[in-house]
């Protein structure tokens, strides 16, 4: 508990470390330095080791935003996720672009911090449609809303490490998917249809994949939603200390139509609550952690160098 309290205090400190050397404002009314977020990102010098801060004023920014690999250590900080929105409407079926080109925001750079923003794929129910596509590594997403339907959030780098805090994520099918190692803390995970929340593709060599701690899983009571299905055979997903609503199916997990996945998928639960947390009818191949096992899965174990990430500090 002391660690979590300390973590929260540091996250919302106004002290920057390392100190930001670049500060620009994006405003659609012309009162800032740039009219679009992409222009502001492009203005940052490549391979910066110190943090660059881009403040995004309220507005709906219809952009397909890309932060390339050479653009590192950037903070995009909105005014409020309710009124600072990045929205686009591509989907996998449009011009046969496929899932991985359907993003609204694509992050290739390392050390990116996204804060107080809504990132939306507004294509509605027209196929796979990614809102946030994360490559790179050591990125932090704070107090954001990630909106979409199928495939809302893609954590695409198998060596990527991403931290989500106090963020709302919604979708229909496999709306959090990919191979990266991710820690979700105090997030709301909202299901909009009978389907699957996660589709992890964790490499077998990785100790951890998706970890949801102190999160809230919501959806209409009449929905029937699985916690996850394995996109690849060694998928790792853990829900611990979470609230699971009535919409979570009693069996909890799905094998993606392949019984062999039951031998290799790493599906775990611990100390959850709510009507969907009843483990008495869970699939036999999922595991409930003991207290000792759960105590060994802490954020400072999964990300022992988290405080050294440049994105850990706001740069404000």
Select 2-312's CATH number: 3.40.50.11270, 3.40.710.10, 3.40.190.10, 2.160.20.10.
Answer: 2.160.20.10
Q: Residue ranges per domain, the chain?
A: 2-312
% of the chain at pLDDT higher than 90: 88
3-class SS of residue 100: helix
Lowest mean pLDDT among 18-32, 36-50, 191-205, 268-282: 18-32
In 3D, which of 127, 125, 133, 139 has the Cα closest to residue 100?
133
Q: Can you give the pLDDT at residue 201?
A: 98
CA-to-CA separations, 264 to 37, 95, 203, 239, in angstroms, rounded = 42, 37, 11, 18
Give yes or no: 33 in active site. Answer: no
% of the chain at pLDDT higher than 70: 93
Q: Where are the alpha helices (DSSP H) in 12-115?
A: 37-43
b/e sequence 22-44, b meaning 16+ C-beta within 10 Å: bebebeeeeebebeebbebbeeb
pLDDT band of 20, cuts 50, 70, 90 = low
Question: 129 pLDDT exceeds 80?
Answer: yes
The rounded mean pLDDT for the chain is: 93
Question: Mean pLDDT across the stretch 65-72?
Answer: 97
Q: Where are the alpha helices (DSSP H) in the chain?
A: 2-11, 37-43, 291-295, 299-302
190/248 Cα distance (integer angstroms): 11
pLDDT band of 310, cuts 50, 70, 90 = confident
pLDDT in tens, 151-183: 999 999 999 999 999 999 999 999 999 999 999
194/316 Cα distance (integer angstroms): 41
Is residue 235 within 8 A of residue 214, CB to CB? The reply is no
Question: 214 pLDDT exceeds 50?
Answer: yes
pLDDT in tens, 183-197: 999 999 999 999 999
Question: 316 pLDDT exceeds 70?
Answer: no
Question: 5 pLDDT exceeds 80?
Answer: no
Of residues 166 and 11, more confidently modeled: 166
Question: Mean pLDDT across the stretch 11-40?
Answer: 79
Question: Cα-flanking dihedrals φ and ψ of residue 164, to 5°?
Answer: -115, 130
Question: Mean pLDDT across the stretch 6-20?
Answer: 44
Q: Can you give the pLDDT at residue 13?
A: 38
Q: Can you give the pLDDT at residue 155?
A: 98
What are the tokens at 203? 């490499």
CA angle 164, 225, 239 (to 5 degrees): 40
66/63 Cα distance (integer angstroms): 9
**pTM exceeding 0.85:** yes
Question: 8 pLDDT exceeds 70?
Answer: no
Question: 121 pLDDT exceeds 60?
Answer: yes
Question: 16 pLDDT exceeds 70?
Answer: no
Question: 4 pLDDT exceeds 70?
Answer: no
Question: Mean pLDDT across the stretch 292-304?
Answer: 97
Catalytic residue among 174, 194, 295, 305: 174
Phi and psi based region of residue 219 (left: phi greater than 0; alpha: psi -120 to 50; beta: remaining):
left
Bridge partners of residue 155, in order along the sequence: 134
b/e sequence 241-269, b meaning 16+ C-beta within 10 Å: ebbbbebbbeebbbbbeeeebbeebbbbb
Q: Can you give the pLDDT at residue 68?
A: 98
Chain position carrying tokens 């900080």: 77
3-class SS of residue 63: coil
Question: 92 pLDDT exceeds 50?
Answer: yes
């Amino acid at each position: 508990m002391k660690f979590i309290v300390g973590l929260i205090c540091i996250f919302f400190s106004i002290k920057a470390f390392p100190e930001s050397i670049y500060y620009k404002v994006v405003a659609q009314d012309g009162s800032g330095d740039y009219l679009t977020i992409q222009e502001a990102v492009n203005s940052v010098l490549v391979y910066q080791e110190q943090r660059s801060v881009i403040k995004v004023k309220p507005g709906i920014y219809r952009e397909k935003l890309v932060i390339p690999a050479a653009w590192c250590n950037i903070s995009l900080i909105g005014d409020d996720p309710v009124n600072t929105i990045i929205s686009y409407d591509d989907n996998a079926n449009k011009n046969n672009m496929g899932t991985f080109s359907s993003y609204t925001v694509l992050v290739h750079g390392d050390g990116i911090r996204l804060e107080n923003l809504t990132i939306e794929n507004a294509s509605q129910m027209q196929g796979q449609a990614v809102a946030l596509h994360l490559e790179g590594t050591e990125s932090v997403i704070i107090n954001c809303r990630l909106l979409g339907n199928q495939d809302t959030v893609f954590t695409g780098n198998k060596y990527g490490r991403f931290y989500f805090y106090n963020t709302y994520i919604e979708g229909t099918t496999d709306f959090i998917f990919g191979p990266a190692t991710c820690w979700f803390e105090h997030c709301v995970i909202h299901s909009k249809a009978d389907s699957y929340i996660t589709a992890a593709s964790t490499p077998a060599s990785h100790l951890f994949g998706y970890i949801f701690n102190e999160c809230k899983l919501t959806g209409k009571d009449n929905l029937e939603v699985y916690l996850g299905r394995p996109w690849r055979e060694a998928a790792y997903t853990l829900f611990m200390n979470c609230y699971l609503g009535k919409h979570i199916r009693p069996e909890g997990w799905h094998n993606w139509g392949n019984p062999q996945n039951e031998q290799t998928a790493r599906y775990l639960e611990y100390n959850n609550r709510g009507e969907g947390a009843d483990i008495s009818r869970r699939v036999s191949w999922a595991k409930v952690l003991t207290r000792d096992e759960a105590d060994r899965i802490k954020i400072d174990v999964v990300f022992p160098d988290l405080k050294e990430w440049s994105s850990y500090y706001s740069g404000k």
